[in-house]
Amino acid sequence: MPSVLPDGEPVPEDGSLPASALDGAGDRPLAFYLHVPYCATRCGYCDFNTYTATELRGSGGVLASRDNYAETLADEIRLARKVLGDDPRPVRTVFVGGGTPTLLAAGDLVRMLDAVREEFGLADDAEITTEANPESVGPEYLAALRAGGFNRISFGMQSARQHVLKVLDRTHTPGRPEACVAEARAAGFEHVNLDLIYGTPGESDDDWRASLEAAVGVGPDHVSAYALIVEEGTQLARRIRRGEVPMTDDDVHADRYLIADEVLSGAGYEWYEVSNWATSEAGRCLHNELYWRGADWWGAGPGAHSHVGGVRWWNVKHPGAYAAALGQGRSPGAGREVLTPEDRRVERILLELRLRDGCPLDLLRPAGLAAGRRALADGLLDPGPYARGRAALTLRGRLLADAVVRDLVD
């Protein structure tokens, strides 16, 4: 089952925010994340807040059902409109993620997007993305999404090799994600991403290279490459503990990252965040950039997290509890915290250091600055940006990003 939520103070029943959260809101971009908490089967490595039909059976009944989900989620968007009040900001980005959004009918995803459009309005150049599992879409489905206003799509490819897909419990066949890219282009999607995972037990350097080459070979304008994280409580963690599959080590991850950067940059993709590459600035995921830069975003759906003006809150995790709260006219918020200036400083370093531009050195305290000078001497930070007052990672620094961040926040 998915991991647990943090503690926090209670969210008021009407979801209202402290007045401070809305101060100056008109000057900040607003983004929506819409979570779809359903999957056909659970991949052994995944601890996202998602539920298979079997996992839902006997818990939540009709309330948790996929059939009513789009309407329930639209209720939360209407609640957001009340909480944010007469907000003049048209929405810059909408990102539908999961779970498997494309387990719902295309019309349901469009219905959810329409709710945002009706309540808030969309910016003329709004980026509207959905995640999609390759086995769950086809040309008609993609055309319906495009006609409904989606202009970016992100497919979970993970690997081009059957034996790697098998360890990951993926149900699509090799080649299907690449075909999806062609279908998405034919349907008129301007922006297409492929997600890849490296470091799966049993994957070789050659397997990884083949996956990258298969991905870039079909010309998406964005590729995300994630090191496999073995999350506590997942089936994969249990299999590793029982010795059924080997654990991959950090050196393997580092080698695979170098291969990723070599193949992707050789094919015209430029990194703009440690795990993300795009062929141009227009190909970058604006939604994630807004998130990394601390904009206001409202996360709707079970377990979704939100952030508005320094207040962070999160929803109840179970789809049944989520629908029950909204059905009774209550906020589905389970807890919240008001970020202190120190929380915001640390968070900015955590998120911005992973970006190509890095983070301003004036966010660092004396101990962090001393660590910054050491990282510079060790070749982990780039001297050019450093001289201009920014801590920006070198390629070697990207391999050790988590450790560099830990030192800089001191």
Ligand X SMILES: C[S@@+](CC[C@H](N)C(=O)[O-])C[C@H]1O[C@@H](n2cnc3c(N)ncnc32)[C@H](O)[C@@H]1O
Binding site for ligand SF4 (CB under 6 A): 39, 42-43, 46, 48, 50, 98-100, 133, 156
Give the nearer residue to ligand SF4 in terms of CB position, either 39 or 381. Answer: 39
Under rule CB under 6 A, residue 276 binds ligand X: no
Candidates 5-13, 228-236, 278-286, 390-398: pick the segment binding ligand X (CB under 6 A): 228-236
Give the nearer residue to ligand X in terms of CB position, either 100 or 331. Answer: 100
Among 2, 15, 97, 319, binds ligand X (CB under 6 A): 97
Contacts for 295 with CB less than 8 Å, ≥ 6 apart: 28, 29, 30, 31, 92
Residue 195 binds which entry of ligand SF4, ligand X, none, CB below 5-8 Å type-dependent: ligand X
Q: Do residues 131 and 97 touch, judged by C-beta distance below 8 A?
A: yes
101 three-state secondary structure: helix
Q: Do residues 18 and 79 touch, judged by C-beta distance below 8 A?
A: no
Give the nearer residue to ligand SF4 in terms of CB position, either 96 or 371. Answer: 96
Q: What 8-state DSSP symbol labels residue 355?
A: B
Candidates 94-102, 143-151, 299-307, 370-378: pick the segment binding ligand X (CB under 6 A): 94-102
Q: Do residues 74 and 111 touch, judged by C-beta distance below 8 A?
A: yes
Among 231, 347, 407, 410, binds ligand X (CB under 6 A): 231
27 three-state secondary structure: helix
Candidates 76-84, 92-100, 245-253, 257-265: pick the segment binding ligand X (CB under 6 A): 92-100
Residue 81 CB, nearest approach to ligand X (Å) = 26
130: phi then psi, degrees, rounded to nearest 5: -130, 145
Q: Do residues 126 and 120 touch, judged by C-beta distance below 8 A?
A: no
Give the nearer residue to ligand SF4 in terms of CB position, either 165 or 216. Answer: 165
Under rule CB under 6 A, residue 228 binds ligand X: yes
Residue 228 binds which entry of ligand X, ligand SF4, none, CB below 5-8 Å type-dependent: ligand X
Residues counted in the chain:
410
Measured from each CB, the residue nearest to ligand X is 156
Measured from each CB, the residue nearest to ligand SF4 is 46
Give the nearer residue to ligand X in terms of CB position, either 120 or 272. Answer: 272
Residue 42 binds which entry of ligand X, ligand SF4, none, CB below 5-8 Å type-dependent: ligand SF4
Residue 277 binds which entry of ligand SF4, ligand X, none, CB below 5-8 Å type-dependent: none
Give the nearer residue to ligand X in terms of CB position, either 226 or 386. Answer: 226
Nearest to 248 by CA among 205, 291, 280: 205
Give the nearer residue to ligand X in terms of CB position, either 16 or 235. Answer: 235
Instruction: Classify the phi-psi angles of 329: left when phi > 0, otherwise alpha if psi is within -120 to 50, otherwise beta.
Output: left
Under rule CB under 6 A, residue 48 binds ligand X: yes
Strand boundaries in 339-391, DSSP class E: 359-360, 390-391
Sign of the four-CA dihedral 172, 175, 179, 182: positive
Under rule CB under 6 A, residue 197 binds ligand X: yes
Q: What angle do CA 206, 220, 90 make, to 5 degrees?
A: 140
- How many residues bind ligand X (CB under 6 A)? The answer is 16
Residue 250 CB, nearest approach to ligand X (Å) = 14
77/62 Cα distance (integer angstroms): 21
| Strand order, beta sheet including 270-273 | 270-273, 276-278, 222-227, 191-198, 152-158, 122-132, 91-98, 30-36, 296-300, 305-308, 311-315, 333-338
**Residues forming the site for ligand X (CB under 6 A):** 45-46, 48, 97-98, 100, 131, 133, 156, 158, 195, 197, 226, 228-229, 231
